[in-house]
Amino acid sequence: MRPDIHPTYRPVVFRDSSTGDQFLTRSTATSAATVEWTDGQTYPLIVVDVTSYSHPFWTGQQRVMDTAGQVERFHRRYGRRQRAGAANAPGGEH
């Protein structure tokens, strides 16, 4: 590897903005904000919108999509449309 072309890889604390949970990991992300971790050291702090602490998939609070109901509602609203050649084709199918 060529020297002096890679960003600094160091410990960084990430905080979930919705839950306040934090975790320490290594990253190249930078920040002017800092936080004191449980080991007494001060690390850069990166605040993120979603982590595994708040993401619906990982928390088990994900919505179940009613796709069949959505399709039926679409057909009621816009009607069923045939393909251009399907109505004129012999036998009614294309």
Per-residue pLDDT at 1 exceeds 60: yes
Q: How far is CA 60 from the centre of its chain?
A: 15
pTM beyond cutoff 0.75: no
Closest listed residue to residue 25, CA positions, set 45, 38, 11: 11
| Site of tokens 């002017």 | 32
* pLDDT tens digit sequence for 11-52: 999 998 888 889 999 999 999 999 999 999 999 999 988 887
* pLDDT tens digit sequence for 42-85: 999 999 888 877 766 656 666 656 667 777 888 888 887 776 66
CA dist., res. 85 & res. 93, Å (int): 8
